Structure 1
């Protein structure tokens, strides 16, 4: 289990990025973090990845504190960040240096097969489309069998058809080992398609505001009534997250857009 307790982050210039984050994510659960720009979604992911230090609070994976990059935590960024001097296969296997060569080759080949790129193993990243490069990045993250996988808007730069295709590849890889997944997204449809629950964040400072449960079995039809109802619930929660709450507790009109 990923256990986040009373997590806060204040930067050196005094900016309060996060305040009092409490979040428990079960093994194998997929949680989507969604909210307006500047609400601390990426900051939260960087803290869980061990790339930044929290100002207060704690992060633990199965009872082990995370204060630095952890071998059980994988991260996929908005852009693929592939090494241009390595082939596709070598990029996927880059983090497996301690694994025996036959096993490494087998794991890389399997991961590339699962993302539909087996025939591109010997090609260079520059020869691939943007969607194919992101498939390589996803395969690289899964091949190390992380217990937690963090995804920071990995499909935001892709067209709708490519994004839907990558959702299928992601879920296929996830189904094999079922790591805990935290995905940051601005796409409500993406949250509905992938997650077990969507956690809406409120800005200034970033904190958790509402949770929408997404219980329909996957794969999910975006036009199905349950999917449409879930999308409406998330949109309503996003709207409420941007309404300042006066002292008497009544929400005022929003002064910003979540997108």
Structure 2
């Protein structure tokens, strides 16, 4: 389970972006995070991923982000909408480098299959700087799963994929969440009809005019 407890966030002395966000997400959940541009979806994902400071508490399977940062982070992968990659390494070299950081010599066969299905194998020896934005996004996606995370955070992840790759990746994500008792949270900015039945929980960030703060509106759904 992922727990967000009284999360507050502001930059410097400015007004709080969040002022008391609370949320519980069970295992095997696919959560869609919605809200208008600039309301704080990316900020919230960065908070959950340990990438930015905040007030409050976050726990993943009872592991505190603040009290046991390294252990918490072992279970988390974040894919941003502009992923950082090493321009002068090929996808093959990049994967090998990340595996070495993880002290692993190989990765799950399902990822090998996914690399083939989304066409990344065709560019395995091409410098990353020469790849299209969509292909770079595919590489970032593969890298995020090398550590077998239990919490996957995606920021507008599907916009640069071709239709077939989107379907293959969506199927992979659904199976991964179930087979690994994982949690997936992704921020979406635009309306995508092929994602209509993908999440089993929707969370909307919206401004409460009466309270003068951003609040969460949760909608649990059956898939």
Does TM, normalized by the shorter one, top 0.5? Answer: yes
Superposition pairs of residues 1-259 of structure 1, within 5 angstroms: 1-55=1-55, 57-67=56-66, 68=69, 70-97=73-100, 98-101=102-105, 103-104=106-107, 109-156=112-159, 158=160, 162=162, 165-176=165-176, 177-178=179-180, 179-189=182-192, 191-203=195-207, 205-209=213-217, 211-216=218-223
Q: Using structure 2 for the length normalisation, give the TM-score.
A: 0.81
Aligned residues: 210
- Which stretch of structure 1 is more off in the superposition, 86-95 or 5-14? 86-95
Which gives a bigger RCO, structure 1 or 2 (Cα 8 Å, sep 6+)? 2
Query: Which structure has the greater CA radius of gyration?
Result: 1
| Unaligned segments of structure 2, at least 5 residues | none
Q: Where does structure 1 lack aligned partners over 5 or more consecutive residues?
A: 217-259
Q: Could you tell which deviates more after superposition, 6-15 or 25-34?
A: 6-15
**TM-align CA RMSD:** 2.6
Partner Cα distance (1:44, 1:187) in 2: 18
How far 1:75 moved relative to its partner?
Answer: 0.5
In the superposition, the TM-score normalised over structure 1's length comes to 0.71
